[in-house]
Amino acid sequence: MESIPTQKTFKMNISKRAILKALILFFFIMSAVFVAHFTGVKDVLTPETLARFLDAYGFWAPFLFILIHALSICLFVPASIPTIIGAGLFGAYWGFVYVWIGDIIGASGAFVIGRTLGRDFVASIVRDKLKRYDAAIEKNGFTTVFYLRLLNVPFTPLNFGMGMTGVHFRDYFFGTSLGVVVGIFVVTFVGGVLKDVWVSGNWGGLISFKVFFSVALFIFSFFIPTIIKKIKWPALISNRLNNT
């Protein structure tokens, strides 16, 4: 007489190569966090230090800032730090441009690292409903990434995390490029305006359309997640799940 199994057993076909790459990713992330928070790197990412460093390179200063910004993202430095510094160094408008480019490059780099080292392992362990969610994210990649960016989900963890899902790089790239615009614009515009007022000493400049617009946009940014939820974009994912 055959015994009836009391517990469902799953056999995970995880290759040694996938495990090795996942371990490399784990140690990379741990090393990056250590370097960013427990070494002298954080002391370099200050307005004074970067200003002195970039001044020496003249025309190439923006390119170096973008490179430093992109690398800092992969090293788990909070994205708000180089964003604020960029506004202080280059002003509201050019600061926005350089920070935006740095965000895209850094986010893309972290995504590629996560995809290369972690995707095989994650794909091997997802089962049943998790696999359905993974498939839904893959089919609605742009919407998912764009929505999460507007919700201000922690920037760098999301970059690596999305790389380990099934989302296509194209959808991730454009979802990120558009989704970070509001947040970057608010920080760089407010920071740039305050810097101009501080340098000029014209405190009367605080009473101007630019300042009121910056403050209003900053306050409005806190309501974006609520507005997005009312639009119910995530329902697209739910509908996709129900149809799979």
- What pLDDT digit, counting tens, does each position of 182-239 carry? 888 888 877 766 666 666 666 665 666 666 776 777 677 667 666 666 665 555 544 5
Vertex 168 angle, CA 17 and 78, to 5°: 85
Residues of the chain above pLDDT 70, percent: 73
List, for residues 34-46, the tens digit of each pLDDT value: 887 777 666 777 7
Highest mean pLDDT among 1-5, 104-108, 165-169: 104-108
List, for residues 77-118, the tens digit of each pLDDT value: 877 788 888 888 888 788 899 999 999 999 999 999 999 998
130, pLDDT greater than 70: no
Residue with tokens 């764009």: 146
- CA nearest neighbour of 78 among 52, 45, 104: 45
Query: What's the pLDDT score for residue 44?
Result: 72
**Average predicted confidence (pLDDT) for the chain:** 79
Query: What's the pLDDT score for residue 1?
Result: 45
Let me know: does 60 contact 21? Beta carbons within 8 Å. no
Let me know: does 86 contact 102? Beta carbons within 8 Å. yes
Query: What's the pLDDT score for residue 138?
Result: 85
Please list, in sequence order, all residues whose beta carbon lies within 8 angstroms of the beta carbon of residue 98, skipping any fewer than 6 positions away. Answer: 62, 65, 66, 69, 86, 90
Rounded-to-integer distance, Cα 137 and Cα 76, Å: 24
Query: What's the pLDDT score for residue 111?
Result: 95
150, pLDDT greater than 90: no
Rounded-to-integer distance, Cα 84 and Cα 225, Å: 22
Query: What's the pLDDT score for residue 171?
Result: 93
Please list, in sequence order, all residues whose beta carbon lies within 8 angstroms of the beta carbon of residue 100, skipping any fewer than 6 positions away. Answer: 177, 180, 181, 184
178, pLDDT greater than 50: yes
Give the confidence band of 128 by pLDDT, cuts at 50, 70, 90.
low
Whole-model pTM: value is 0.77
Residues of the chain above pLDDT 90, percent: 23
Tokens of 71: 């690398």
Could you give the C-alpha distances from 89 to 50, 86, 182, 195, in angstroms and in order? 9, 5, 20, 9
Rounded-to-integer distance, Cα 100 and Cα 179, Å: 11
Could you give the C-alpha distances from 100 to 57, 81, 148, 195, in angstroms and in order? 21, 13, 17, 19
Tokens of 131: 């696999």
